[in-house]
Chains A and B, each alone.
Chain A
């Protein structure tokens, strides 16, 4: 067995007593007076468009801007759990059936001129015309101020693939979920407990593989929106 060969070889060489102790104290990471403000600035520096959607009106405006940017009428919400968590103001199931158009939902705020067509929760990627998806919407479990990072989990946000496939990606973030720095995040997170994959997202997809020239939008989205909601 290769396993035994490798391990016994390593054990043969191994010092019986470790002289290098695993350091207990992790070095300091920066703190910020206003983590939310730092999150916004650093996320924007990394190329994320941060929009405020804390009031219903502002949220509607933010979503209109996303659809405009995408040139699309369809949003793919990766899980319906997102609606509840972020208080998305639509009567989902009933409206969807009433309108007669599957997947197209009309907002209660129609009188304010806000109609939002949505594709509801995806059951599996097979049902989705993947190349046709223009915008996917996920929810961040955490934001990290230090780097302007959004953390999405395959357990509660949604798809592993859809976080990268569509040209436009939207991640909703509750302002109270913003942590100060990476030490705080990695000390508190329990990796693999509930999810097969967590993704730290900081800005759109990028490459500098040709002559170190920065190009945005390689395999993943060319535009990343973070909407505070």
Chain B
């Protein structure tokens, strides 16, 4: 068994996980649907968002340079990192030169992607996550299990046990008390930190402004109180104009949490200005590639980079709803993860990910920027299979089987004859009402799939004889 299968089995058997996962995701789907149904021109907004993103991606060098120019114009500094390691090294250099000891972080998936915490801790810095979900995940030495709600896999009891063990808190099941405890502990870190690190939801090229969307207020504090602010931004997060943000904010918050807008949207243009009361003395924007330009190469696959990280495809995915994020074993999980990860890091460990989908299409339907996830999954599967077949010249029964299958089902007459025949002989092949064939390649295909026997009567015949009035 390979690793992904092991993780599937253990996720499905994890009763604690199963008890919280589906209801939580279902609630997210419902609130997203409610928020979206209120918007009459949602489809128009999606089209607009997609077109702006695709345009920006085509002109990416132009917009990145414009963003850089305007950030510098506000007194900020812009650094470019080819890889995650480069970015971590840059941050460590900045910290060392300024004698930084304590770091507060607001939520950044890019930080997870480049294993920032481990890198900074190795460099001797004390790092504290300040988003409640991220803090929980950090305390329990885990990785996030969802793009938007990192501690989705944890129940209130899990969090209570964790806070009892790590923070010496009295045992409680009260979510409000747990939250208040985190607030108190983290408040001290905010006031003591020398460096704040944040992610970036959007970078506006036209004005040199970075946008950080949040609900807790921790991003505001992380980017305002410490004397240095470093923002980490994937190169695909740039948008051309300020007015584009009106549409992207609407798409993002309604898709992510079902809110008309989040409690806070931070629009940051450089470090503290003269005459301002507070804010960081220095502002750095690190533009990170880390595999993104590889996706950029293919014009069709490039739309993968349009993702605004709302997590809606994770919420609605029937596979994710049963497994949660950890089973994927990657930073980006679920439908978007299955197209993003293999393209950014084309390694054997994630080769199976494009296959971990039923191709039901719910992800594309819910995606606020209409990324054609199922089509991309198919394309990636094709690439994997082609690589596997390379150099192998042999008779492939699978191919012959598929040709016969296609010939049979493409005519209603042939399909009718075949099913009548199969109905007559199937009893010899059925075990507990299911086909079990020990002939390869069908046996391999059946390993993870049930093939129920045909009903005794065709639906058409049934409808004509008994169900005519329906």
Contact = CB atoms under 8 A, between A and B. Distances in A.
A61 interface: no
B74 to A, nearest CB: 5
Interface string B67-82: 0001000100001111
A165 B296 CA distance: 42
B260 A26 contact: no
Contact of B246 (A182, A198, A199, A207): A182
Contact of A205 (B186, B216, B246): B216
Contacts of A29: 246
B209 interface: yes
A194 B151 CA distance: 38
A215 B179 CA distance: 8
A2 B220 contact: no
Interface string B86-118: 100000000000000000000000000000000
Interface in A40-93: 42, 46, 78-79
A10 B276 contact: no
A149 B261 contact: yes
A122 B277 contact: yes
Contacts of A185: 246
Contacts of B41: 27-28
Contacts of A210: 132-133, 136, 151, 154, 156, 159, 175, 178-179
A209 B260 contact: no
B61 A11 contact: yes
A96 B62 CA distance: 55
Interface in B108-166: 130-133, 136, 149-151, 154-156, 159
Size band of the interface chain A makes with B: 35 or more
A208 B149 contact: yes
A219 interface: yes
Interface stretch (B237-245, B359-367, B419-427): B237-245
A160 B155 CA distance: 34
A203 B260 CA distance: 11
A134 B264 CA distance: 20
Contacts of B293: 6, 9-10, 13
B224 A219 contact: no
Nearest to A124: B277
A211 B156 contact: yes
A2 B82 contact: yes
Given A155-B276, A161-B224, A183 B246 contact: yes
Interface string A180-201: 0111011101111011111111
A182 B276 CA distance: 26
A140 to B, nearest CB: 14
Interface in B166-221: 175-176, 178-179, 182-183, 186-187, 190-191, 204, 207-209, 215-218, 220-221
B54 A20 contact: yes
A180 to B, nearest CB: 12
Contacts of B276: 154-155, 160, 195-196
A221 B183 CA distance: 11
A125 B280 CA distance: 12
B262 A202 contact: yes
Contact of A14 (B61, B81, B287, B289): B61
A125 B226 CA distance: 12
Given A6-B235, A200-B264, A192 B270 contact: yes
Contacts of A211: 20, 24, 154-156, 175
A197 B217 contact: no
A209 B297 contact: no
Contact of B187 (A1, A160, A219): A219
A191 B299 CA distance: 33
B51 interface: yes
Interface of B: 20, 24, 27-28, 40-41, 44-45, 48, 51-52, 54-56, 58-61, 64-65, 70, 74, 79-82, 86, 130-133, 136, 149-151, 154-156, 159, 175-176, 178-179, 182-183, 186-187, 190-191, 204, 207-209, 215-218, 220-221, 223-225, 235, 240, 242-247, 249-250, 257, 260-273, 275-279, 283, 287, 289, 293, 296-297, 299
Interface of A: 1-3, 5-7, 9-11, 13-15, 18-23, 26-30, 42, 46, 78-79, 122-125, 130-131, 146-149, 154-155, 158-165, 181-183, 185-187, 189-192, 194-213, 215, 217-221
Given A160-B277, A199-B220, A210-B154, 4 more contacts: A14-B58, A23-B48, A27-B45, A122-B277
